[in-house]
Every structure is written in C-alpha cells, then in structure tokens.
Amino acid sequence: MSRPKIRLHVEHPLSQGQTVDLSREQANYLFAVMRLSPGDEVALFNGRDGEWRARVADGSKRGGTLAVEEQTAPQQDPPDLWLLFAPIKKARTDFIVEKAAEMGAARILPVQTDFTNSERIRQDRLQAHAVEAAEQCGGTYVPTVEELRPLSAVLDAWPADRRLVFADEALVGAKRALAAAPDAAKWAILTGPEGGFSDAERTRLRGLPFVTPISLGPRILRADTAAVAALALWQAERGDWR
C-alpha cells in the first residue's frame, strides 16, 4: 500500500488506534485547502515516533479528528549536527532554515556576528519553516530553531565534546581539512554573514581547540549558498550520506 501524499506534523504521541485532534489551522489546511473528506488518508509524524498513516474521522474548517492506523516509516533521526549561521535578508534566512531541515541538521542556531545585518529574527516563523520543510521532504524529524544569540556568547558556553567546523572564506582545501579533523560524535557548522567574519572573530575561532577551519572552494559564496554547501560537504565526508 502506498504512503499518503499529504503529510502533517503534530505534537501528539502516535501509535495504532489513537485519535489526533486537529488545530484550527491544521483543519483549515486539510479540509479547505486540500479538500479532504472523511475516510481520506494523511501521513502524520511528530519527530519521535516515525511516520503513521491516519484517516479522517470527521472534520470541518474549524477542527477535526484523525484516526491513526499503522506506521508507514520508522523514526529517522539526523546526525548530531548543529548549524550556526548569521541571519541575512528575510527570504534568504528562510531558505537557510528550510535547507538545513532538509539536509539533516539536528539543531539550528542563528548567531549575531560583528557584521550581521539583521538584529532580530522571528523564531516562531523560522520554526514553522523547519516544520514545513520536514513535511514536504518526507522527514520524520524537525530540528529546533533557537533564538538569535551573539556568537561570542555561544562560543563562551560551547560544550567541549562538540567539534565546530568554521567556514573561513580565507582558506582552501575543505575536504582535506574535514578528513583530517579529529573524530567526534557531535558536530556543528558555522557560516558567516554577507560581509564575512571580522578579523577579531576569525582570530578567536582559529585559536579555539574545538574548531576546524575549512574552505568552501575557490569562489566566494553568498551566505545562504555557503550554509547549504557546508552542510553538503560535511554530510558527504562525516555524516549519514557516506
């Protein structure tokens, strides 16, 4: 039996025989936008219990109930990988969060750098983008999007057992640098703002024992492209793409 094409993220625990009450927004999407009716199928996931087939028991534009029937895919968690990035223009920040969710980041941390040109973010909106990305790409895990914090404060509290890959536009040899990095079970990637990192930030990062500086190739990349390139590079060399 094929898996349902419409996927919905819910907070409710999922198991056979359970019922899931829909929020007004979810009901409006399923019944007003997607035109589902009682008996139609939906795929549900909550980030913990895998994907489950559910059937519409009843519904209207204001609410509804789904009956959970069977598991259609096991839970698949990403590697223990964080993405740290400096927010940029709204649409391009949205793009970074969406692609990070698709490409297997377990946690997304916006950071304020010396040259970051965005002083605030809408964390709830970015979290919603991460949910939508997981819904659309078939994922069963949704990364947490954190509030914006200064990079200096994040580094001050950095866990000693997590390796940080620092995308430094002044370097070359990304693949060699990643391959030569010490083994670690926990990783993070840091990409910078449109203006790059300041000299002070670059000096501090290079001096930290848990940091591996890498290059993203011979061309200067836009900030959103750099985040995707760094994620792809790490996944291919150290992640679950191998």
The tens digit of pLDDT for each residue in 147-167 reads: 999 999 999 999 999 999 999
CA separation for the pair 137, 225 (Å, rounded): 19
220 shares a domain with 177:
yes
Q: What is the pLDDT of residue 176?
A: 67
- Spatial contact of 165 and 230, defined as CB atoms under 8 Å apart: yes
132 shares a domain with 112:
yes
Q: What is the pLDDT of residue 156?
A: 97
233 shares a domain with 144:
yes
229 shares a domain with 141:
yes
What amino acid occupies position 174? A
pLDDT, tens digit (0-9, with 9 covering 90-100), for 90-100: 899 999 999 99
Mean pLDDT within 99-116: 96
223/181: higher pLDDT = 223
217 shares a domain with 116:
yes
Mean pLDDT within 59-72: 92
For 30-34, 40-44, 165-169, 176-180, which range has the lowest pLDDT when averaged over its residues? 176-180
Q: What is the pLDDT of residue 175?
A: 61
For 2-6, 9-13, 49-53, 133-137, which range has the lowest pLDDT when averaged over its residues? 2-6
For the chain, how big is the Rg over CA atoms in Å?
20
Whether 147 is covered by a domain: the verdict is yes
Whether 49 is covered by a domain: the verdict is yes
On the CB side of 54, CA atoms within 13 Å amount to 33
CATH of the domain at 125: 3.40.1280.10
Q: What is the pLDDT of residue 177?
A: 72
36 shares a domain with 54:
yes
Neighbours of 236 (CB within 10 A): 12
Please check the confidence at residue 170 and state whether its pLDDT lies above 80: no
Identify the domain boundary among 73, 107, 127: 73
Mean pLDDT within 65-84: 97
| Structural domain for 127, as ranges | 81-238
103 shares a domain with 36:
no
pLDDT band at 217 (very low <50, low <70, confident <90, very high): confident
CA geometry: angle at 105 spanning 197 and 107, to 5°?
Answer: 80
Q: With pLDDT > 90 as the criterion, what percentage of the chain qualifies?
A: 79
112 shares a domain with 171:
yes
pTM of the entire predicted model: 0.91
Q: What is the pLDDT of residue 172?
A: 58
151/196: higher pLDDT = 151
87 shares a domain with 42:
no
124 shares a domain with 34:
no
Domain count, the chain: 2
What amino acid occupies position 216? L
Q: Which backbone phi and psi does 218 adopt, to 5 degrees? A: -80, -5
37/216: higher pLDDT = 37
Nearest of 208, 187, 111, 200 to residue 154 by alpha carbon? 111
104 shares a domain with 17:
no
CATH of the domain at 51: 2.40.240.20
Please check the confidence at residue 203 and state whether its pLDDT lies above 80: yes
Tokens of 183: 């083994």
pLDDT band at 195 (very low <50, low <70, confident <90, very high): confident
Whether 2 is covered by a domain: the verdict is no
Identify the domain boundary among 22, 39, 73: 73
- Spatial contact of 26 and 32, defined as CB atoms under 8 Å apart: no
Please check the confidence at residue 210 and state whether its pLDDT lies above 70: yes
Whether 126 is covered by a domain: the verdict is yes
Whether 225 is covered by a domain: the verdict is yes
179 shares a domain with 88:
yes
